[in-house]
Structure 1
Amino acid sequence: MNLDLKYLGRSGVVDVPGGSALSFQPNLARPQVFFDQELKHPLRFREAISALHEVVVGDLRIKKKDKSAYEAWKAEEARQEDELRRAVLDQEKKAELAKLSREPIPPNLKADFQKMHRLYWDARVRWANELSRNDPELFRALVPCDPVVTVAPDVVFFECFAKDESSYGCLFVDRDAFSGKAEAATGTTNVDYSLALYEHFQTLRTYRPTRLQVDPTGFEVKVQGHASYREEKIDLPPTWLRGFGQLQAAMGLPARRVELSVDAVYSLLTYLKRHREKTGPRSLRFQLRPGAPASVVLEPWGVTVQSRGKAYDGPAQEDIKVWGRRRLMVLARLLPLAERVEVQLLGSGLPSIWTVHMGEMRMVLALSGWTANDWTGGASLELLAGDARPDARAVELLTQRLREVQRATLAELASHVSAPREALLGSLHLLAKQGQVVYDFAAQSYRWRQVMPVALSESVLGPEPEEVVQGRRLYQEQKVKLLREESLSGARRVIVAKVAEMECEALFDLDGGLSRAKCGCAHFRRVGLRAGPCRHLLALRLNVLRGASGFDMGLPGPAGRVFQ
């Protein structure tokens, strides 16, 4: 998808009478959005926006060992060899071209092209990584998209997506964080962002008044021909767009809400900073017990960190594992400001969402299930949406209502849109995937926010994962045959079934969530539940959610165990 970015000048910290101004240049290709008001606590904002920067540049993908010296030696050897062949190079090239002109198109031309194309893109990635280390200014042109800023009636918030597409950050700043009269036009826009802007953030001080500006003057001057006017056209990769939409949809899904004390998060980060694991598992295991604060086990060391926060109020005791924990290091600068930390757990191996409350600010960090598994892969998030399908009329009414009020809770939307709960949730899920709304955990409400000037269409986002499509087909064709049900403690059930000649079994919790499973298909043997359930488990879950099994999700049963 091509995106036009038009900026008047560059973002940065500029001197103004009586202090400084943190000025963000908005995208002039989008509707007018501006904001200008003085920050009450510049130092607190500096630390929060710096943490958001760490998300922007975050890339924890495995990096190969530096072999530059060896490669230089090989290049020199190759150069000497080329000199020996230079005398016959032109002659051989002419002979080969003459030969090709007399022959038909080779049958393997497409395969050879794809092989060479892969070599080209691998070289391009290496070149981009080299630029990011040695030439940040030139690398700026390779950043997929500038951060998004939204000016709402009650907050100003910044959103960004990590370079490796596995992390999302959002910094909410309440209007109470500002003093003086506000000059603002609500809306959403991209803002010019460069790696050098991070250095400007570090110059903010408490003794120097600082204003936050989304510069309004850029919309009032004739930008054509202006010396500082810049226009960029970038081609956004489908994975970036689909990932941004997927994570917004995930943020509105049901999850286990856990509160961690600040000292517990500090202990987690400190231990990870001082120790490097050499074997697996490399997970954080949340031990959730109703009526008691959560505890977190650092694996493989078996170190337990006990939280002193609010007691967990979930329906049953359970253990949930999440991976990619080193990405939590971006929260380190926020701990001195933090009052409490909330974690939303979607399930083992699934995304987790961390919210740091800092008085007038809050930072949301959403992590995909694995560092190497971005938000676009697998059917995990599609499964969590269950069988809730969007309704065209509900989508239209929700769009109109959220455009009008900017923010609304689910109950307020339900009273305005007369639609079944499943259709309402499915429609909100679709709007989030299309980049039209964002879920605010602190306010527990949906906000109207267009990440792009237009809704992200299915052709841009790409089709649903194949396992989801096939799983829904198996369910609709009634290919699910239940073999056995067994009750466990905590209102959990194990169900064994045969789905299209494939036997599988799954452990369901009180809410119909699938935490453990087995299946004999090739997809499950290859990736298990890490990339989402296979089509057979998905069909079984849809069957359970629809109540076709006669399975009552609310009745606890005797203790038992099937999984070893």
Structure 2
Amino acid sequence: MTNNLVENTIEQNADSTPADHVNSANGMMMQLQYAAPSHVSLSENNQSDHTQHVALFTQMHRDAVSFHGRVKDPLVFRDSLLALFDVVSSDYRYVPKDRAAYTVFRQMRRASRNKNLFSAQRDYFTWLFNNDPLAFCILDPIIQVHQEGVSFEVFSRDEGCYAQLTLQRDLFEMDSDTVLGTTSIDYSSALFDGIEQIRDHQTTTLDIGQEAVRLQRSESSETDDGEPEDKNEVIEKRINVPKSWIRALLQVQSAGQLAKERIDLDPIALYNVLFELRMHADIKGKRRGLLIELIPQQLPVIILEPFDIAVTSQVSRQQTPYQGQKSKLIRLWGRRRLSLLKRLLPHTDTVSVSLLGQGMPSYWTLTGKGFHFTFAMTGFSQANWSQSLNFDLLLPKRPQYNVLDSDYKENNNVLPLMQALAEQPSGIDALSERLSTQDNPITTSYVRQQLLSGAQQGLIRYDIANQSYYYRPLTQTPLEMAQFAHHNEAEKQAFDLVSREDSVQNLSVQTVVTQGVSISADIQVKEDRRTYRSQLQLGEDGLVSRAECSCPQYLQHRLSQGVCAHLIALRLSYHQYDHTQTNSWHDTRTLSKRVPKHHQKSQKAAPYPAQNVFKTKQQSANNAARSTLSANDILDLSALAQGLTPIDTDARQTTRKHTGHTISYVHLTCDHKKVLIEHIMDNDSTRQQFVFNQPAQAHAAFLQHIARFEAQGFIENKGV
């Protein structure tokens, strides 16, 4: 790779029009041209040993990329590519029943009753290709040949999974020199069928490039002068890629650079999770989350809801406990997508999980001999506007232009960063040292900001496994960032409303036990000369369960025509809301703890003794006639905590004998002068309510209750 790679890219973009994609209102029409379809061929050499030849043909309109080598471990090579194909072809979106397709199928079967099997199958796939072309539509992977090996990037059809596979050079025996670069490869079901036939006793070679294509796909023709001419057959794919697909791909890849919690697991622990998911089907109306319990200096515990099955690592001695300073309980969704990793588990040595937060994307990195596979599970689908909006708020504001666009020459200070990555992939610290000079030192925070901006523009790829950055342009021509700034016009208007002063008034945030968060505000729109009342109800998983607005769009169409800008502005305001403020006397906290099942009756029967509760009510009545407590006074709530039996030595020994556990939830609510405590275990619940003279007293008692429950081993679930 030459030193003038980035500059040459800018000159080519300024002199030529985009050849690989055409922008449209609905998406981006990508024209991918290959000299031949990728395939796996069986050849026979002089020693009469069969050799599997994997030929991956690159896109013709992009820079030439070549890689040739013999695979040392064919099984790792086979299973990793098959796992990559499982991710790119996965679609976990809910599909309702359609009787029309079944009716057409019955008619076609009656018409093909007298045909043989081959003709019937041919007619069926012809009809499917003509009537449902999306069934065969997958976007070809992005492949990059770099100094450390070969990397593949794919994104699923439902916009919920991202995978990055790196095959290191140690996995190959190189036959010739490689040409570094980035391009696309043809990836189809025929290639998938050929890769499945790879076996360990056969020699497998990998060939990436275009030089062998012209020899295999050339045919002779005559010109007007009668002279023979070689003409290459070219296969062309036209795929209309939605803009939301590319936007989500860029954001999932760039979000891996943000601050996150990292834990280590054994491969057997991930296998146990997949085994339990396969043995237990989801229950309609019940929780479907994946709880990860993090306690300082203890091994992470994965809990499957609603079965309360706890999975922990117990085999590997190399696993380190959680190194955080505070206990956390993080809930993830989309757990069924983890089954896409089952092919790689036999070859995996270590598993690391990076967590961005409650309901946010999680990155699962599987590392083995000669490869590492990073799987990003976003937990939301294309139609989930509330969850995708949550994900967008994690990242800084998207740039409105591309740094490689020649029209913006004043931003050439970013080009040295791209050029340094094109020469050698590096981390943040090494990159800042390379770019810094005595007269112009560059800080790591500035480099991190520029790298995140480059990743959002599709120019930089971040590898979580080795924490390195690579220069990887997603397309041959720079993306027009103005088209990917917002999902729609309503979201653009919402960001404009939030940026104004006093546009969101009377913001109210209230947490309702077992229902979620209720948000309401008055949205003032100067252009309409009106103020609209908007309300949202967020569930525990961050999804919008109820939405109301007084604007004409909602009153006429409800949510059938999309979400109005006022509801999106309310959601953005809630993200900027200070959840730690103490001047609000309405707050709800949820705490949970895993307890043995044989302790259910003792803990559910009476969390607080009746006598102590009665005495507390009498004390509250007597305090009503007294003056207000000062801020320095400390409420004595020892009577309220006597019902919480501490975990003694005998109980711990008994707990070790029983492997069955359940989750005990405690909901504490402070509502002005009242404190409500609700204890829930399985289907049973108990409620306690205390009334105080002043809101300050109730809030102080509320905080003391939280501290006492945390001392008993309960972990606060902060929610979304």
TM-score, scaled to structure 1: 0.74
Gaps (5+ residues) in structure 2? 1-27, 109-123, 219-228, 404-410, 522-533, 545-567, 582-699, 707-715
Structure 1 residue 373 displacement after superposition: 5.7
Aligned equivalents of 1:505, 1:397: Cα separation in 2:
49
What RMSD, in angstroms, separates the aligned Cα atoms of the two structures?
A: 3.8
Aligned equivalents of 1:468, 1:307: Cα separation in 2:
46
Report the counterpart of residue 450 of structure 1 in structure 2. 473
Aligned equivalents of 1:311, 1:468: Cα separation in 2:
44
Aligned equivalents of 2:232, 2:579: Cα separation in 1:
59
Is 1:261 the equivalent of 2:252? Answer: no
Paired letter, 1:189: T
Structure 1 residue 458 displacement after superposition: 1.7
Report the counterpart of residue 38 of structure 2 in structure 1. 11
Report the counterpart of residue 334 of structure 2 in structure 1. 324
Determine if contact 1:38/1:212 at 8 Å carries over to the other structure.
yes
Report the counterpart of residue 180 of structure 2 in structure 1. 186
Structure 1 residues 69, 169: CA separation in 2 closer, same or farther (over 3 Å shift)? closer
Query: SS at the partner of 1:408?
Result: coil
Query: SS at the partner of 1:2?
Result: strand
Gaps (5+ residues) in structure 1? 77-129, 481-498, 507-515, 545-556
Deviations 1:9-68 (A, max 9, x none): 111112333512111011011001011100000111111111111111101111223635
Residue-pair matches, total: 470
Aligned equivalents of 1:460, 1:428: Cα separation in 2:
21
Is 1:305 the equivalent of 2:311? Answer: yes
Is 1:49 the equivalent of 2:81? Answer: yes
Aligned equivalents of 2:456, 2:332: Cα separation in 1:
23
Deviations 1:481-508 (A, max 9, x none): xxxxxxxxxxxxxxxxxx63213489xx
Is 1:434 the equivalent of 2:462? Answer: no
Report the counterpart of residue 534 of structure 1 in structure 2. 571
Aligned equivalents of 1:471, 1:156: Cα separation in 2:
40
User: Taking CA–CA contacts closer than 8 Å with sequence separation of 6 or more, which of the two structures ends up with the larger relative contact order?
Assistant: 1
Deviations 1:145-187 (A, max 9, x none): 2111110111201111111121111111110111144431011
Is 1:71 the equivalent of 2:100? Answer: no
Q: 2:149 aligns with which of 144, 149, 155?
A: 155
Query: SS at the partner of 1:328?
Result: helix
Determine if contact 2:398/2:485 at 8 Å carries over to the other structure.
no
Aligned equivalents of 2:426, 2:66: Cα separation in 1:
23
Report the counterpart of residue 236 of structure 1 in structure 2. 241
**Residue correspondence of structure 1 range 54-203 to structure 2 within 5 A:** 54-65=86-97, 67=99, 71=103, 139=133, 143-203=137-197
Structure 1 residue 300 displacement after superposition: 0.8
Structure 1 residues 203, 74: CA separation in 2 closer, same or farther (over 3 Å shift)? closer
Determine if contact 1:7/1:27 at 8 Å carries over to the other structure.
yes
Aligned equivalents of 1:541, 1:436: Cα separation in 2:
35
Aligned equivalents of 1:22, 1:68: Cα separation in 2:
41
Structure 1 residues 170, 73: CA separation in 2 closer, same or farther (over 3 Å shift)? closer
Report the counterpart of residue 363 of structure 2 in structure 1. 353
**Of 282-291 and 379-388, the range deviating more from structure 2:** 379-388
Aligned equivalents of 2:398, 2:105: Cα separation in 1:
59
Report the counterpart of residue 694 of structure 2 in structure 1. none
Structure 1 residue 298 displacement after superposition: 0.2
Report the counterpart of residue 520 of structure 1 in structure 2. 520
Aligned equivalents of 1:523, 1:7: Cα separation in 2:
52
Paired letter, 2:519: C
**Residue correspondence of structure 1 range 541-556 to structure 2 within 5 A:** none
Greater Cα radius of gyration, structure 1 or 2: 2
Structure 1 residues 134, 378: CA separation in 2 closer, same or farther (over 3 Å shift)? closer
Query: SS at the partner of 1:501?
Result: strand
Determine if contact 2:65/2:180 at 8 Å carries over to the other structure.
yes
Aligned equivalents of 2:35, 2:495: Cα separation in 1:
50
Structure 1 residues 397, 456: CA separation in 2 closer, same or farther (over 3 Å shift)? same
Structure 1 residues 214, 388: CA separation in 2 closer, same or farther (over 3 Å shift)? closer
TM-score, scaled to structure 2: 0.59
Determine if contact 2:68/2:174 at 8 Å carries over to the other structure.
no
Determine if contact 2:68/2:207 at 8 Å carries over to the other structure.
yes
**Of 174-183 and 203-212, the range deviating more from structure 2:** 174-183
Report the counterpart of residue 64 of structure 2 in structure 1. 32
Structure 1 residue 467 displacement after superposition: 6.3
Q: 1:400 aligns with which of 411, 419, 442?
A: 419
Query: SS at the partner of 1:348?
Result: coil
Query: SS at the partner of 2:177?
Result: strand
Is 1:249 the equivalent of 2:254? Answer: yes
Query: SS at the partner of 1:198?
Result: helix
Is 1:212 the equivalent of 2:206? Answer: yes
Aligned equivalents of 1:537, 1:413: Cα separation in 2:
37
Structure 1 residue 560 displacement after superposition: 6.6
Paired letter, 1:203: Q
Paired letter, 1:61: R
Structure 1 residues 259, 517: CA separation in 2 closer, same or farther (over 3 Å shift)? farther
